[in-house]
Each structure stands twice: as C-alpha cells, then as structure tokens.
Structure 1
Amino acid sequence: MKKIFSYFFVSILLIGLLSACGTSDKDSTNGSGDNKSDKKVLTMGTSADYAPFEYIDTAKGDEIIGVDADIAKAVAEKLGYEVRFQDMDFGGLIQSLQSGQVDFVMSAMSATDERKKSVDFSETYYTSKHIIVSKKGSGIKSVNDLSGKKVGVQLGSIQEEKAKELAKEVNMTVENRNRIPEIIQEIKAGRFDAAVIEDTVAKGYLDNNPDLEGFTIEDADGGYAIAFPKDSKLTEEFNKVLKEMIDNGEIDAIIKKWFE
C-alpha cells in the first residue's frame, strides 16, 4: 500500500512539475514576443542608381542611401513602421506596386497623369528640372541641336516622356536603358549623342566627368512624390506626416543634406 501511495504521490508531483514547466514556457514565449519590436516592416521599391536620391556607395557598403531613403525612414519612423529597401529597374516599379511585391515606391518618381491611372501619389516633396547631357564639344546647346541625334533616357522615367515630347518638335531618335550609368556610358562610347536626365542627378555626373557638358530645360513636368497601390491606407498615413515635415522644414533639411 505504501508503494502504491508513493507511486501515486510521485505521479502527482511529476504532473505538477510538467504543468509548471508548460506554464513557464508559455509565459516566456509571450514575454519574448513583448520584447521584440512590434513595428510592421514595409517594403519600399526603388531604383538605386539615381544619386543623390537613391544609390549605393560601394566604397562604404551595400546600403541604399540618399534623399528618398532618408525621407522614407523618417516618415515611417513617425508612423511606427520600419522600412526595407528593394532595388529594381525603374521601369518595373509601378508593376511591383500593383502585384503587391512592394508596399510603396520612392524613386524620384513624378506624379504624372498617366501614372495616376495605375497608382496613388502623396504630396509632391521635390520639384525637378531636366538637363540635356552630351559629350563636351558636341555642339548640342539647344533642343533644336538634337535634330538628327540619338538621345538616351531611363526606361519608365519622366525624362523618357519628356524626350518623346521633344521628338515631336525635332527629328530625333529616343532610346531607353534601365540605368543612368548605362546611359552615361553610351554617351561616352558615342552610341548616344545626348541624354535627358533629371537636373540634380545630371549635375553629379557633370561634376565628375569633365568630358561631359549639358544645359537645362526649364519646363520640367511635375515633381517627385511617393507612389502607393490604389486605395492603400498608407497613402493617407504617409501624406499626413509628409505634409507636416514639409511645413516644419524637415524635408528641406534632408534635401539640403544631400545636395550640399
């Protein structure tokens, strides 16, 4: 009888210990979850070849940096989100939004009427101009000088649309490439006579390539904005914070940081 009682007592004790362990594990899991960041991670699509807006300084690492990267992180932080960057060709950014591959796009993208048919946009945070870039000594000093020339543009960019518009005025051929460095190389190799590039980006190449020159087209189309899938709740959330940052000077400070 003693042995039976002892076995019974030990069994009850073991069951109690196992139950306690189970409770401890559960509490530990919950505690661990509470200690982790509750921030939702948003994926931002971008084409990281457009300094100073978004690019990779390979001498310092593989992180995507620039105006758009800083603005995205600042807005997201204020809203309680974290941002993960996904680099892709500019021409595929709208499609990536529509397919749900990314949550939003920041890539020096202009809010054109055509794009608004496919995606929603935030407030404009930067207004740009275009520069016609060519080899020094090319003799290309005005839009009319592009007649009979082959002009390069980035695929899917506002500059591609601008070049096609100019092609209606002068007899020039427009060809696109996925990345700005490709376009610059095509000019240097003589396969392009000139290119239409956003002015701030173009100035960076002009400063670092004394064999290139350019002039500004003053009638730039639209400004840069954040793109979202149609009817995304993020549009209103981001827009509210973006407006505040524009009004209080935070956006201007970020832009000046990268342009000085």
Structure 2
Amino acid sequence: MKSKVSIMFLLFLGIIILLMGCASTEKEDNSLEEIKKKGEFVVGLDDNFPPMGFKDENGEIVGFDIDLAKEAAKRMGVNVKFKAVDWDGVLLSLKNKDIDVIWNGLTITEERQRQINFSKVYLQNRQIIVVNNNSNIKSKEDLDGKIVGVQLGSSSENALNSDEIVKSLKEIRKFSNNTEALMDLKAGRVDAVVVDEIVGRYYIEKKPGVYKVLEDDFGRESYGVGIRKEDIKFKEELDKILDEMKNDGTAKKISQKWFGEDIVAK
C-alpha cells in the first residue's frame, strides 16, 4: 500500500514540477513586454546593402527593409533604432543582445535556423551571377578558372560553396560588402560576382551598360527577420504586423517605391 501511495505521490509531484516548469518558461518569455517597456527595438544591419538598408547622400539610413521596420515599429507602438554591425558576426550580435532583430535581407537557411528564429517570409530572392557587359562569360560553366567575388558571410557565399562549380574556380575573393565586390568587377579585378538578385538589379539599374546578369543562378531563397529563439512573443507580434502590412497594401506600396513593382511574398 505504501509503495502504491509513494508512486502516486511521485507521479503527482512530477506533474506539478512539469507544470511549474511550463509556467516558468512562459513567464520568462517577456520579450514583447521588454521591447515595449524599452520603447524601441534595435535593428542590426549592414548599412551598405542597397536597396535593403544603406546610407543616402545625407548619411541617413534608408531602404526597403528600413521602411518596413519603421512601419512595424509604429504599429507596435515603439520606436526603431538602426545599428550597423559586422555582417560576419551578426548572429552573435543578436544572441548577445547587442541588437533585437536582424532585418536586412537575411536569408533563411538551415544553418541559421539552428541558431536563431525567423519571422514569416516577406520576400523571395535568388542568387544571380553578375558579369561585366563585355564579358564572354555566358553560363556557370564559363566560370571555370575564373575569380568570383562574394560578400563575406553572406548567403551568396554559402550558395557558391554549395555548388560543384566551386571546385573549378581559380579563386573566391571575399569582400566586406557587395559595393566593393561590384566595383572590383567593373575594374576587372574579379571576373564575376554572385549576389542577391535584389541587390544586383539595383546596382545594374544605377549603372546602365556596365553589368549584365546571366540566366544561370545559384538557387532561390527566402528572406525573413532574424529573431532570438527565446523571443517567441515578440516574433508572434511581428508576424501579425507583417501580415497586416501585406493585407492592407502597405508592404506593396513600400515595394513599389524601391523596386517599381510588388515583390513581397504573399
């Protein structure tokens, strides 16, 4: 009898501890409350990544993601602060709470998903190959023996390294940002640059007749806002707001402003 009572007591105690643990976990997730108490959330970004986020001629940070983040913060009832960070260490900056989100054309990858959480997809993209307009490179295969530029720590670098063609390249030259990579392409110091299509198209429109895009690419991808895994309530609120912005046409207007068309993921 005592044995049965002891077992039942232990089971009961276990259930209580489990419920307390769940309650404790729920209580610990006060991410949204902390943001609202602070009155702002901090966006980490590469501030030389047009048209997603970059400094204009007045030194002000502008861009597609900047406008989205500002509107989201407004609807959340807080301010937004933009902080330039080393892109190669951006995940660490998020984990260390130097920033609250990564909102800067961040590609959702399996490797990143193991480390951080993501908002719902808000934009689709692909990794394109940009060459000079007078280049004789016509396809991926023509990159054999060539020097290819990428941004260090970017999804472009990951996409290139994941392709079999990487074995035949002469060199992968890494740059701190895409602007430098495309400048070296124009100067002939690299033969091609692998870059997000959104970024590549933006630069090509700025410099007509200088660059061209190959039909081949290194894969398609989705953009999301990077969030700490433990910040579940903040993520839920941000997802809700992103949906609202898509449904009421606000995201479409911002997209048309920067790209001339609606490219927001539905």
Q: Tell me the TM-score normalized by structure 1.
A: 0.79
1:148 and 1:219, CA in 2 relative to 1: closer, same or farther beyond 3 A?
closer
Answering whether residue 132 of structure 2 is matched by residue 165 of structure 1, we say no
Q: Shift in Å at residue 251 of structure 1?
A: 1.5
For residue 129 of structure 1, give the secondary structure of its aligned residue in structure 2: strand
Q: What is aligned with 2:99?
A: 102
Q: Retained in 2: the 8 A contact 1:245–1:251?
A: yes
Bigger shift: 79-88 or 169-178?
169-178
Q: SS at 1:45's partner residue?
A: strand
Tell me what 1:246 maps to.
Answer: 246
Q: What is the count of residue pairs matched by the alignment?
A: 222
Structure 1 pair 224/217, CA: closer, same or farther in 2 (3 Å)? farther
Q: 1:197 aligns with which of 191, 195, 199?
A: 195
- Give the C-alpha shift of residue 134 in structure 1: 1.4
Partner of 2:88: 91
For residues 249 and 153 of structure 2, what CA distance do their matches in structure 1 show?
31
Compare CA radii of gyration and give the structure with the larger one: 1
1:39 and 1:80 in contact (8 A); partners too: no
Is the 1:76–1:82 Cα contact (8 Å) retained in structure 2? yes
Correspondence for 1:155: 152
Q: Which residue does the alignment assign to 1:22? A: none
RMSD, aligned CA:
1.9
Aligned to 1:45: 44
* Structure 1 counterpart of 2:194, one-letter code: V
Tell me whether 210-219 or 172-181 shows the greater mean CA deviation: 210-219
Residue 69 of structure 2 is aligned to residue 79 of structure 1: no
SS in 2 for 1:230: coil
Task: Extract unaligned runs of 5+ from structure 2.
Answer: 1-35, 261-266
The residue aligned with 2:178 is: 180
Cα 1:109/1:143, change in 2 over 3 Å: same
8 Å CA contact 2:138–2:214 kept in 1: the answer is: yes
Determine the structure 2 residue equivalent to 1:230. Answer: 229
> CA 1:90–1:216 in 2, change beyond 3 Å: closer, same or farther?
farther
Could you list the runs of 5+ residues in structure 1 that have no partner in the other structure? 1-36
Secondary structure at the aligned position of 1:231 is classed as coil
Q: Tell me the distance in 1 between the aligned counterparts of 2:184 and 2:218.
A: 26
Q: Is the 8 A contact 1:155 1:177 kept in 2?
A: yes
Question: How many Å separate the matches in 2 of 1:95 and 1:175?
Answer: 24
**Cα shift readout 1:84-132 (whole Å, capped 9, x = no counterpart):** 0001232221111011100111010111111011110000100012221
**Cα contact 2:52–2:64 (8 A) shared by 1:** yes
Tell me which residue corresponds to 2:56.
57
Which letter does structure 1 place at the counterpart of 2:96?
S
| TM-aligned CA deviation for residue 255 of structure 1 | 1.0
Change (3 A) 1:51 1:174: same
The SS at the match of 2:40 is strand
2:110 equivalent among 101, 109, 113: 113
1:131 equivalent to 2:134? Answer no
